[in-house]
Structure 1
Amino acid sequence: MKFAVLCFLLLGDHDMYSGMLVHSLDSFRAAVYEHAVIFPADRTKILSRDDALKVMMKNLNVYKQQTELASLNEAMIIIFPEYGLYGLGWTRQTLAPYLEYIPDPNVEMWNPCNKPSVYNSTEVQHMLSCIAKHNSIYIVANMGARLPCTNLDPKCPRDKQYQYSANVVYGPSGDFLARYFKFNLYLNEDYLDKPNKVELSMFDTPFGRFGTFTSLDIMYHDPAISLIEKMNITNIAYPTAWVDNLPLLSAIEFHSAFAEGTHINLLAANLHIPSAGYHGSGLYWSTSTSIDAAYYYNDSKNSNGSLVVETLQPIIIPSPNERFIKNFNALTRSKEVKFTSVCDRGSNIKTHEIKINGDVYKAVLLQDPMYQLEVCNGNLCCRAAVETGIAPGELYAFGAFDGMHTEGERYYLQACVFIKCANNTLESCGSPTKVSSSYMGKMAFSGNFTTKYVFPEVLTSENGVPGLMTKIWYYMGDLIIDAGLNGATLSISLIGRDYSRDNLA
């Protein structure tokens, strides 16, 4: 079967980009723990500090056990999730007993395990420090922070303290190395304060320099892209509380895509509360033209948390200006590819509107095995050459979106998507589904994005369980599949973020 566009896009020297990524001879073992958090019995009640500590110590005891297990597996760093010490669903008053004062490690060196009495009511920091010390490991955990303020500060809250979601980092001797206060809050996190300015939090290890941020931060330029691009960070420790938001924002789906699009090692630890949609953790690392991963995805309501341990290699980028070069090249290269609206099939295929996560996409519906298509929305045109085995009764949509995403959080999004519809109706396209019987044989996929920040996603299904297809080509802005997918196809997408347009009215 002729597949001219795929041949055109697959031609060329795949080694051309190999100089962009240098694997060091050194490697390191890393771990993330997806934690089934132990909640307090009643989150509507204001507890005493002692009762709040009892809740957190139950979770910290799990952290201790998992750190010991990670250490036995030779892990050198372990990441724990956001809200892992006390769970979700607070008011400002009910959260307060769980908070601790966290000093600035850039101002004062401190080892909480060795000197627990330097600051009052820092029991959590003391235990985290001791867990790190006793296991000779780096620990990154998320906890609640409070910083006192006075009326001299015009932004000081009425209760005279700022309340933050904080990442804390401890070294293998128990030293307090770094802190980070979450900058981008979800709308329902009204019990937390947003820092007056964004922090770029980093720490050094023998196996590379790390940055850290939290959950929703990954969707915005600051601090995520600033750390990666301006500070040339190639390792991110990422505690998160991420709801699995299919079809485009499953945790393993987007986090792996972010690692590939930015060429980093992303160590992502999520909560494990499947009944509320919180699950999906992993270690994701970029290769020269693809993504690899070790991850945990279990949405069974009776499932437990899990430890993921894998060997990673430090990523070396010769220059910060080269980090996004293969995305950027697509801006000019895509103009060389000549597409008509519906190649070889006339122009009678109808364009529809479908809604995905609140955004209205222009889309073409697919049921036949082979297409060469272009679909446009606004200034974005998405192009695909597809050879697929679509099962009888199944329907796919190939679509484009170029505009402001406003459902929940607000950000400017450009997206080219190939998604499985929940059933064989137009109305179901964009609805979440985990079931597919269709396979992808070959695909070449690109778009004329106005941004160089493009993240390639491939999500598959095996017996109704989503998984990642990691052996793909993502080369000079083209997402290429030339050997088929392992598992049935749920979605194949290019997610572009034009950060410069986030503040548009």
Structure 2
Amino acid sequence: MRSVICRLVFSIAILQPSAQVSTPDSPTYVAAVVEYSPDTGSPGDSVADIVSKNVAQYVPLIRRAAEQEVDIIVFPECGLVTYGSSTKFATPLPHPDDRVNPCTDTSSNVAEAIRTLSCAARNHSIYVVVNLPEVHPCPDATNWSSSGVVYYNSNVVFDRNGTVVARYRKFNLFGEVWFNITSEAELSVFDTDFGVTFGIFTCFDIIFEKPAVSLAKVLGVRDVVFPTAWYSELPFLTAVQAQASWSYGLDVNFLGAGYSLPGEGSAGSGIYAGKEGPLVTTMPGVPTTQLLVAKVLKKTPRNTTPVLENVWNAGDSIEATPSPNIFSDVHRDNSGIWMMRDYLEPYETLLLTETEFFSTHTLCHNELCCDFEVAMHTDNQGQNSLGKSYIYRLAVFDGIRSYTFKTGGVQVCAVMFCTNNSLSSCGYEMETDEQERFATVFDYIHISGNFRLNNSLQLPNTLLEDYKVLSADAFEFTREEIPGESEVKVNMRTKKQNLNLLTFAIFGRDFSKDGGPVSQPSVDDTNHATVAHLLSPIATLLCMNSYFYVKFLV
């Protein structure tokens, strides 16, 4: 049994004191997310024992949130059972339409953990969002499962009375071969008594159009709950970075609760206010249980034409299968977080030199051309004792990348950090404990490009030292559709001087290319391809992300 030394921290970050529980007329509501380091059990513990221990930690967190007049609290993916437990623990979940209250309805066929959490929501009058494995009868046992059941990675939502008001089954699985998926992505939403409608999706779902983007663009959802066991990837997809980027780009309030095991790559939670930026975030380098609380301004509903065909779809299921992978490197950074690195070698890049105080460049890769304006200067005091500091490359990519178990179309225009002049050093942090790693001061950065308009999404993507992101008032991000063209002009520029910058980018997804083949590695990249080939069978056996299996093999 893995031993985990957990530092238990209850950090309360409240923007303003709350006088009472929010109502439909309140301009704000109070939200809480939990960065949670689970109890992984003691030698001899069963999975049921581990679940009981984690439920025993959830209940006081719910109580603490209620003491802060919190309206809704979100727990992370895998928090009750810990990842790697497969379906050794799974429970039936009531359909939300049935309005079952497991706390008061003892005849409901649910695990005791569900009953306890329902009672905690009821006792403390708070909405509670929890992730756990769900078991459900097969629609057709002959075709679907010899055991007669299917399993889902599910979120369940209890209202203030403990009633099940929402359920969502994760659609984009990351190698979780013991789980099934529904035939269509569920667009799962729930209304609250404080006048806010929330959408739900889980972890890897944030990368894809369905259900995540569809909730915002089709149903007009302005508030999202997001349980996750995220594994960060430099330079574009660290946890807080990805959450803040999605929240800003879709302009939704976003409640992200993260599983905290940084030594194996998982950390990062936050509450975000769309284009107003992050309200409170954390990305700890040690296993931490941390309660984050913020007062959130309600957003005006979007004008959309809802399409509800897939809401609460509890019908047929299909099993997930892994797709081919081109594997990227992993390393442990100075914060203690086990980090992935994107496969950057296919990018078109240009090194920014110290002599370029002001420069303009145009870089193209396939059909995407990006224009860069960069004003910078060197602060030699930022160099560490070895005389080293980060240097930077401009980078452009238009193609299909691997997400280990799926592939996706990506369009990126970026300024990204490197440790030396070679592209192979980009996306790695400096191996020094000294803070003086930033000698380059960016006075101004402007990036623009014509991105694909249809079946696409463009997001602002920033990363600073200590895995923070730029505040909303530190940059400008605009999109303008080009009349008569299937393109959108995207501009992103800084509004303040920046010293501790790691990444500044327009990160675009081209959903029309999802599922396509990734670019073949060049001769110089055979090590990456070889590692991917050797590990791909093992990937199907382990939970959540490729960090997990690489760690024990390299």
Residues 47 and 88, structure 2, Cα contact 8 Å, conserved in 1: yes
Residues 141 and 148, structure 2, Cα contact 8 Å, conserved in 1: no
Instruction: Read off the aligned partner of 2:232 and give its amino acid letter.
Output: D
C-alpha distance in 1 between matches for 2:343 and 2:63: 40
* Residue pairs, 1:344-493, within 5 angstroms: 356-357=342-343, 360-368=346-354, 369-390=357-378, 393=388, 394-408=390-404, 409-432=406-429, 436-437=437-438, 438-451=440-453, 453-461=457-465, 465-470=466-471, 471=473, 472-476=475-479, 477-485=490-498, 488-493=500-505
C-alpha distance in 1 between matches for 2:374 and 2:170: 41
Residues 380 and 449, structure 1, Cα contact 8 Å, conserved in 2: yes
Instruction: Read off the aligned partner of 1:238 and give its amino acid letter.
Output: F
Does the residue aligned with 2:205 lie in a helix, a strand or coil? helix
Partner of 1:96: 87
Instruction: Read off the aligned partner of 2:30 and give its amino acid letter.
Output: R
Shift in alpha-carbon separation, 1:293–1:165, aligned structure 2, 3 A: same
Shift in alpha-carbon separation, 1:33–1:145, aligned structure 2, 3 A: same
Q: Does 1:304 align with 2:288?
A: yes
Q: Does 1:498 align with 2:507?
A: no
Does the residue aligned with 1:468 lie in a helix, a strand or coil? coil
Shift in alpha-carbon separation, 1:407–1:132, aligned structure 2, 3 A: closer
The one of 112, 127, 133 aligned to 1:144: 133
Instruction: Read off the aligned partner of 1:234 and give its amino acid letter.
Output: R
Instruction: Read off the aligned partner of 2:35 and give its amino acid letter.
Output: E
> How far has the Cα of 1:217 moved from its partner?
0.6
> Deviations along 1:30-73, whole A, 9 cap, x unmatched?
0100100112446xx9x8xxx43321121112111111111122
Instruction: Read off the aligned partner of 1:139 and give its amino acid letter.
Output: V
Partner of 1:116: 106
* Residue pairs, 1:11-410, within 5 angstroms: 26-41=27-42, 51-90=46-85, 95-106=86-97, 108-119=98-109, 121-149=110-138, 152-187=140-175, 189-205=176-192, 206-287=194-275, 291-299=277-285, 301=286, 303-320=287-304, 356-357=342-343, 360-368=346-354, 369-390=357-378, 393=388, 394-408=390-404, 409-410=406-407
Shift in alpha-carbon separation, 1:400–1:391, aligned structure 2, 3 A: farther
> How far has the Cα of 1:359 moved from its partner?
5.8
Instruction: Read off the aligned partner of 2:137 and give its amino acid letter.
Output: P
> Deviations along 1:83-114, whole A, 9 cap, x unmatched?
00011124xxxx333100112112x1201111
Gaps of 5+ in 2: 1-24, 306-340, 381-387, 480-489, 518-554
> Deviations along 1:227-267, whole A, 9 cap, x unmatched?
11110001010001101211111000011000011110110
> Deviations along 1:113-145, whole A, 9 cap, x unmatched?
1113321x5212111111111111111110110
Does the residue aligned with 1:315 lie in a helix, a strand or coil? coil
Does the residue aligned with 1:389 lie in a helix, a strand or coil? strand
> How far has the Cα of 1:423 moved from its partner?
3.4
> How far has the Cα of 1:286 moved from its partner?
1.6
Partner of 1:352: none
Give the alignment's TM-score, normalised by structure 1.
Answer: 0.80
C-alpha distance in 2 between matches for 1:229 and 1:275: 36
Residues 138 and 169, structure 1, Cα contact 8 Å, conserved in 2: yes
Matched pairs, number:
427
Does the residue aligned with 1:145 lie in a helix, a strand or coil? strand
Instruction: Read off the aligned partner of 1:382 and give its amino acid letter.
Output: C
C-alpha distance in 2 between matches for 1:359 and 1:177: 46
Shift in alpha-carbon separation, 1:223–1:37, aligned structure 2, 3 A: same
C-alpha distance in 1 between matches for 2:363 and 2:279: 31
Residues 351 and 421, structure 2, Cα contact 8 Å, conserved in 1: no
Does the residue aligned with 2:181 lie in a helix, a strand or coil? coil
Instruction: Read off the aligned partner of 2:89 and give its amino acid letter.
Output: Y
Alignment RMSD (CA, Å): 2.2
Instruction: Read off the aligned partner of 1:491 and give its amino acid letter.
Output: T
Partner of 2:483: none
Residues 364 and 397, structure 1, Cα contact 8 Å, conserved in 2: yes
Shift in alpha-carbon separation, 1:433–1:245, aligned structure 2, 3 A: farther
